[in-house]
């Protein structure tokens, strides 16, 4: 990975879980993976064209929303 976003996601996973939860490394990694999946799905969803409107762009935008849903479903993230 060429940017530091993954470090931010690790920090977020640890903060959301909290030290008092005493979760296993497996659970912490699971939460981290879930955050990565959400980030990817959200990126797909928010990459829509907003400056142009046509059947092509409308279809493309619908495909991005569909891709976001399918990414989450594939990894079991709600």
pLDDT of 9 reads 85
How many whole angstroms separate alpha carbon 23 and alpha carbon 31?
10
Of 2, 14, 69, 11, the closest CA to residue 42 belongs to: 69
pTM of the entire predicted model: 0.75
What is the number of residues in the chain?
78
pLDDT of 5 reads 83
pLDDT of 1 reads 52
- pLDDT tens across 36-65, in order? 999 999 999 988 887 877 888 889 899 999
pLDDT of 42 reads 93
């Amino acid at each position: 990975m060429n940017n530091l976003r993954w470090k931010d996601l690790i920090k977020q996973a640890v903060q959301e879980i909290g030290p008092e939860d005493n979760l296993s490394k497996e659970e912490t990694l699971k939460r981290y993976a879930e955050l990565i999946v959400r980030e990817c799905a959200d990126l797909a969803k928010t990459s829509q064209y907003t400056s142009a409107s046509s059947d092509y762009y409308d279809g493309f935008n619908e495909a991005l929303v569909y891709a976001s849903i399918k990414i989450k479903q594939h990894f079991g993230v709600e």
